[in-house]
Amino acid sequence: MDSSSVFANIVRAPEDAILGVTVAYNKDSSPDKLNLGVGAYRTEEGKPLVLKVVRRAEQMLVNDNSRVKEYLPIVGLADFNKLSAKLIFGADSPAIQENRVTTVQCLSGTGSLRVGAEFLARHYHQLTIYIPNPTWGNHTKIFGLAGLSVKAFRYYDPATRGLDFQGLLEDLGAAPSGSIVLLHACAHNPTGVDPTIEQWEQIRQLMRSKGLLPFFDSAYQGFASGNLDADAGSVRMFVADGGECLAAQSYAKNMGLYGERVGALSIVCKTADVASRVESQLKLVIRPMYSNPPIHGASIVATILKDRDMYNEWTVELKAMAVRIISMRQQLFDSLSARGTPGDWSHIIKQIGMFTFTGLNTKQVAFMTKEYHIYMTSDGRISMAGLSSRTVPHLTEAIHAAVTRVD
């Protein structure tokens, strides 16, 4: 240790649990290695995908010589914000028509959550947020660092590998009035377990009766079922009752714009006047944080969403990604069934979205990495998007060995 440095007392931070999987994978020289840790789509050939419609939009932007690189306003690109609200709340949403929604462009889902959290920490009367157990690893840090107190509510039932609906209702029922509740709009990460429409309605009734404030994280709209409207159903249910809520959107998955960092935060308010005041305060959160958002990614999204042909082309490509993931679920389930792997694996086809919570324990995951060069997070979450027809047999063998040889 160099004692002459003013930073000599700094200890090395642990690797990010999810990103660390990729670091370990990259160091492995085995030709059989398989990375099921990363939350990014891959083609059947295991390659990253840039959507054709995204390439087309970018080409149009490049060819438009009237475009300049001036700063965007603090709240971002106006077209992008308007179209993002329309995408998640629906074109005919009364909240949009009545100007009760304020939308600000943010740095993908993470940035949208952080801006929303900072706003709530400054201006909302209740500083406790309830998040599902389990949830995306970054949620706890995002809300905690913004100044909110983070508590968990029951969500996943390891015994059924499904939803602990009773536990969820009990925990939210016991939450102090006014508490904030983080809800995954669809394709819950990491479990892939979503409430049914009927269960969502019960959650809505309970939350509204207790004055709990919903904060939706929508990272997978259209990517879960292949249908943009269906995947926004939970959010629209809460907006339809006239109540208030927050929604963070990301275009990382559904447009494949991961590294462009494109997202939006929308806050649905009771009146247009409140929405306008809320927006004025959101600007004060954003300005000292990053001044204003980047222009390129948001321009791609706006170009696609405002052109009917490009929008339709996008929905076809989006549906194809969702269908491939659903097909991988079926293939893995069929393969495990044919292999006679002990246990019930039906949760693989019941869960939805990019991830499957396999039910494998930490020791089994470590065994699969060591013996089969398969990389995933230690909680047994696998990215279905990282699988292909070619790699399903290898994964099946690894799961079979882990289940039969490791307790």
Catalytic-role residue among 194, 217, 314, 345: 217
- Which residue out of 136, 164, 314, 345 is catalytically annotated? 136
Structural domain count, the chain: 2
Positions in the chain whose pLDDT score sits under 50:
none
Instruction: Please identify, among 275, 306, 337, the residue that sits at the C-terminal boundary of a domain.
Output: 306
Which one of 171, 253, 314, 345 is the catalytic residue?
A: 253
Residues 93, 125: one domain? yes
Residue 358: which domain range? 18-49+322-405
Q: Alpha-carbon distance 102 to 283, whole Å?
A: 11
Q: Are residues 81 and 230 in the same domain?
A: yes
Active site residue 253: yes
* Residue 153 forms part of a structural domain: yes
> Is the Cα dihedral 180, 184, 190, 192 positive or negative?
positive
Residue 5 maps to a domain: no
Residues 6+ apart with CB under 8 A from 294: 72, 107, 260, 261
Active site residue 370: no
In this predicted structure, what is the pLDDT of residue 1? 56
What does the pLDDT read at residue 263?
A: 98
Question: Is 217 tagged catalytic?
Answer: yes
User: Are 37 and 86 within one domain?
Assistant: no
pLDDT at 88: 98
What is residue 225's predicted lDDT score, i.e. its pLDDT? 95
Residues 271 and 398 in one domain: no
Q: Per residue in 334-376, pLDDT tens?
A: 999 999 999 999 999 999 999 999 999 999 999 999 999 999 9
Task: Output phi, psi for 262, to 5 deg.
Answer: -110, 120
8 A C-beta contact, residue 191 and residue 354? no
Give a yes or no: residue 250 inside a domain.
Answer: yes
Decide: helix, strand or coil at residue 187.
Answer: coil
CATH number, domain of 341, equals 3.90.1150.10
Which pLDDT value is given to residue 39?
Answer: 84
